[in-house]
Amino acid sequence: MPEVIDLGGYGDAFRTDPHPVYAELRARGPVHRVRLPAPDDAHPTWLVVGYEEARAALADPRLAKDPGAIGATFLDEELIGKHLLLADPPRHTRLRGLVSRAFTARRVRELAPRVRHITDDLLDTMLPHGRADLVESFAYPLPISVICELLGVPETDRAAFRKMSTEVVAPTSPDSERDAVERFAAYLTGLIEDKRCAGPGGDLLSDLIRTTADDGDRLSPEELRGMAYLLLIAGHETTVNLITNAVLTLLRHPGQLAAVRADPGLADAVVEETLRYEGPVENATFRYAAEPLEIGGVPVATGETVMIGLTAADRDPGRYPGPDRFDIHRDTRGHLAFGHGVHYCLGAPLARLEARTAIRSLLERAPGLSLDGPPGDWLPGTLIRGVRSLPVRW
């Protein structure tokens, strides 16, 4: 039997900075049997830390996203319904096709003026104070406002929505996660019913309710709830931490910060290097071996779980020279922060739009931006990578 490495044994240092641990594992091999730290799954899982192995695994059809492939169920599916992260082709193909009819590239492009307007309003409110928690005042409200407007979530519901969402992606305990998902399910059921009764509207959720494929196919009520759940959570939690991680990393690298201040056009490069260097999704959600396979020469048996380390893979020195150096001038092409293959992130264009708008506007309007104390704690778990707070001044 392979050695099981207990990642929880590294203590708080692993949550604060997991990169040395991933580097240690990569040096020993691209795939390892690990036990995740609490509050994540306590059962051993395979962890892929090598870049080439991770890229191949992300596109390997033998690694199912649907836990039903091995006779298991997942909390999301049990309480919410099927969504893209719990489906494989052909069902995944069908779901993505229906969602893509409403969530188009044109729709994202048309959001650009609204994203700029929300960004400017937030900065108008924040900047006169001279100091702030950037997460609370800027990095969180921007993407939550955008995704809630996009999907038609009433403004009065957004505070409660934030509590549920944060507990889902960074649970403090298994019971609290279940409670948050149950409340989310009840909320979305009511929201969808309200929109169905209200008739056609201009928001994405209203469009999804009425989207019909050429053959007459439509999303079922459970699929609608599952897709709304995924879009709401994935549509803002990841972007909050992408913006926060980008700003924190720039403030810790004054030479890079000076370069962006001198050339605001480098905001796109900041986003891409942050995605590679300190991306908001540390590890992809579980995959399940639907049949025996090998990953990096390591045999994986049917029914075993596999976690693909996006953060670990994107710091593989075999792919990116000097990977622990933050360098906005490097070639970041091929990074895995948004995944790879059929499950490549549907919301990547929107995340990039929001992040580059936020970074460019913040640095232009707060040229004296600096840290105002240590960042807050890093979020628990091994899914989302980000800090709870980021005190800054200008």
- Residues in contact with 331: Cβ distance below 8 Å, sequence separation at least 6, in sequence order: none
Nearest to 300 by CA among 27, 33, 121: 33
Residues spanned by the domain of 205: 4-393
User: CATH number of the domain that 311 lies in?
Assistant: 1.10.630.10
Q: What does the pLDDT read at residue 42? A: 67
- Is the bond preceding 39 in cis, omega lying within 30 degrees of 0? yes
pLDDT, position 176: 81
What pLDDT, on the 0 to 100 scale, is given for residue 288? 96
- How much is the pLDDT for 178? 84
Number of domains in the chain: 1
Question: What is the per-residue pLDDT for 72?
Answer: 83
Residues of the chain where predicted confidence (pLDDT) is lower than 50: none
Which amino acid appears at position 130 of this protein?
Answer: G
Quote the DSSP letter at residue 393: E
Burial of 267 (0-12, 13-18, 19+ CB in 10 A): buried
DSSP state of 7: G
For the record, the structure tokens of 3 come out as 């050695």
In a 3-state reduction of DSSP, which class is residue 394?
Answer: coil
Residue 33 is inside which H or E element, if any? strand 31-35
The tokens describing 350, both together, are 């929107």
